[in-house]
Chain A
Amino acid sequence: MSPQTKQVLNVGKAQLDLLEELTNANGVSGNEIEIREIIRKKVAPFVDEINVDGMGNLLVIKHAKKPNAIKVMLDAHMDEVGFMIVEEDGDGLYEFEHVGGGDERQFVSKPVSVGSQKLPGVIGSKPIHLASEDEMNAVISQQGMRIDLGPAGKGKAKRGDYAAYATKFIRSGDAIFAKALDNRLGCATLIELLKTAPEHVELLAAFTVQEEIGLRGAKVAAYDFYPQLAIAVDSTPAFDFERPDGNENTQYNCKLGGGPAIYIADRGTLSDPRLIRFLTEVAEENKINYQYRQPGGGGTDAGALHLTRGGVPSVSVSVPGRYAHTAVMLARISDWQDTLNLLQQALEALTPEILSGDRA
């Protein structure tokens, strides 16, 4: 470990402005162009290579300045969950499909932004005063919903147009309210880490597409980079409320205020135990607040990364966020800052010896 003063990262105005720009922009899975261009402009001054591959992944390299560098891939997906216009239903009403996971029960009444012109609309359903008593008590299904662009919206949107939630970023004390914190937080994190990358690391940063619909960009990006190890940086749901029945909440996944969530196992990946141990040691040594995400469901780009070619030792780290895949997510600036510092210190402490010995 280098005896120099360690780099401490702070989330200040520049970082929050960046996150605001990223979350307010629209990049539903399959249409990440706007996000990619924001990121490309931001990183260009301090990286060595920038490429966009056949799927639209933004592949960025910051070369090491020392020999025998370890090749590390950091991965953050650019896409967010959203909607796609299917058919006009008259007078500015449009049938739609959702893109990526989403809770149908939470669609109705949400403002959306449609197409490249960002037409304002709202997701509505049959007006309540026209619904029967049965319909009033049932969960509204997506079939009965429409994106309403208002009467002036007639003919303005077409099949295949993407729509995103129209939420605008708000900061309130330690809290951030925004759409797509999953995973603009990851993107913003990678951008910061590219600025301060240590000299003994060959840093391969992949801003990927289409994670939300099956880790599609990551598979391709990792094939190209084929690193010695990979870290997926994402955001994961916090179901951390108290239970109404007073019993202990045993399925919180992770907690707001608990710091970066290190993944042990999710539905797609069994993290490399050497990397779990390594990140834990880095957090403990630097007294950085951290937690383990509960093993169980969910997934990140690591699900594709670790199966690349002959295999890549991988782990994921996420910033906790409430209300994932809805119109407004909630995260804490302190959790994000702890995530930044954990990953910065991890990069600084990284040596090829971390992977010596067998996997587990």
Chain B
Amino acid sequence: MKTLLKKLTETASPSGYESAIREVIRAEISSLSTNIKVDALGNLIVTMGKKTDNGLRVMIAAHMDEIGVIVSHVEQTGLVRFSNLGTILPQYLAGSRVVFLNGTRGVINHDLPDDLHKIMPLNKHFIDVGATSGKDCPLKIGDVGVFDRSFVDLGKRVSAKSMDDRVACAVMIETMKIIKNSPHELVFVFSTQEEVQCKGATTAAYEIEPDLGIAVDVTPSLDILGIKMQVDLGKGPAIKVRDMGMMSDPRVVSWMESTAKKNKIAYQLEVLDVGTTDAKAMQISKAGLPSGALSIPCRYVHSPSEVVDMDDVQATVNLLSALLNNPISL
């Protein structure tokens, strides 16, 4: 799975501009279903299986978009000012490199600070693409880019930018490959624009009208700092109980727990006090539906070098496939 993860994380596709990652994912799953479509917001929607008598229509969503930058102004000096696509944390900017969809590469730094110990806001940063003036700058207003960081194999663990949420896309792809005789209609959605308030999942859920929604995302793990209620790397997938956008349906949480126990998959419970996932959008779609989420613990979320544990990733595939291949009674 490391090869797949490398391919996915090294693709540049920020929120709103997901065509590159869509094609990479499409190539991975095109042989798995004849029902593949792309909707108005660019979601890649793959339907597998048919609903049997006791089956459900389940929507499983992992977002394809990553956080990124968008050019707001090219200065006369050739330096480029930018705004954010999704939550960009200023502390990760100075010294980072970015790559734009037109191939341009650049480095980020900032204006002279009044106080060297204070982190400067986004609008005091700029991107240097090596241009000597605005006239020879290969970028223009509206051009979009992402962190430029390659995948690195650390053994049991791996690091890359956009583990959020490409690792979940990988989990979904691997799960789709081992779906067998599921009693359910499974609608796998590689969603768009999650980082800018779950837009893709909102419109996808509206059309799909699922009976049950599951989001697959990363969850921040600061286990090295010993913070309470943090999930840990290496302790298995996290079953989300609540985050800042959603309270998981308790029946969904129980179902996930009992399935994990039955299949001897180590898991954690997650109570998150920052952020949310596509499950929030699914839960309140139309007349509402029971929803929950599975999370892959991840260190340094939204940094250019996020870290996940490959055993957690595999265990998430095992749990997700066990959930989807078997009857569900909530």
Contact = CB atoms under 8 A, between A and B. Distances in A.
Interface in A233-275: 248, 250-252, 264-265, 270, 273
Contacts of A248: 75-77
Given A264-B142, A270-B85, A360-B17, A310 B39 contact: yes
Given A292-B142, A310-B206, A270 B15 contact: yes
Interface in B16-42: 16-19, 22, 38-42
Nearest to A309: B206
Contacts of B199: 270, 306-307
Contacts of B70: 264-265, 295
Contacts of B193: 270
Chain B's interface size range is 20 to 34
Nearest to B72: A294
A295 B40 contact: no
Nearest to A297: B83
A309 B73 CA distance: 34
Given A251-B73, A306-B41, A307-B202, A270 B16 contact: yes
Contacts of B38: 358-359
Interface string A95-137: 0000000000000000000000000000000000000000000
A296 interface: yes
B96 to A, nearest CB: 19
A250 B206 contact: no
B143 to A, nearest CB: 9
Given A265-B16, A294-B73, A307-B199, A360 B141 contact: no
Nearest to B205: A310
Interface core residue of A250, A270, A306 (most chain B CB under 10 Å): A270
B203 interface: yes
Interface in B64-85: 70-73, 75-77, 81, 83, 85
B4 interface: no
Interface string B195-217: 01001001110110000000000
Interface residues of A, number: 24
Contacts of A252: 73
Given A250-B81, A296-B83, A358-B22, A264 B141 contact: yes
Nearest to A264: B142
A166 interface: no
Contact of A294 (B17, B18, B83, B204): B83
B123 interface: yes
Contact of A295 (B18, B39, B71, B75): B71
B196 A270 contact: yes
A265 B203 contact: no
Given A264-B70, A295-B71, A359-B41, A307 B17 contact: no
Contacts of A64: none
Contacts of A309: 203, 206-207
A70 interface: no
B203 A307 contact: yes
Interface in A335-360: 358-360
B17 A250 contact: no
A303 to B, nearest CB: 10
A268 to B, nearest CB: 9
A251 B70 CA distance: 14
A313 interface: yes
Contacts of A307: 199, 202-203
A307 B77 CA distance: 39
Interface string A310-332: 11110000000000000000000
A29 B76 CA distance: 41
Nearest to B199: A307
A250 B80 CA distance: 9
B72 A311 contact: no
A270 B200 CA distance: 12
Given A248-B76, A250-B72, A360 B83 contact: no
26 contacts: A250-B72, A250-B73, A250-B75, A250-B81, A250-B123, A264-B70, A264-B142, A265-B85, A270-B16, A270-B193, A270-B196, A273-B17, A276-B142, A294-B73, A294-B83, A294-B141, A311-B39, A311-B203, A358-B19, A358-B42, A359-B18, A359-B19, A359-B41, A359-B42, A360-B18, A360-B19
Interface of B: 15-19, 22, 38-42, 70-73, 75-77, 81, 83, 85, 123, 141-142, 192-193, 196, 199, 202-204, 206-207
Given A359-B41, A360-B16, 6 more contacts: A264-B141, A273-B17, A308-B203, A309-B203, A311-B41, A360-B19
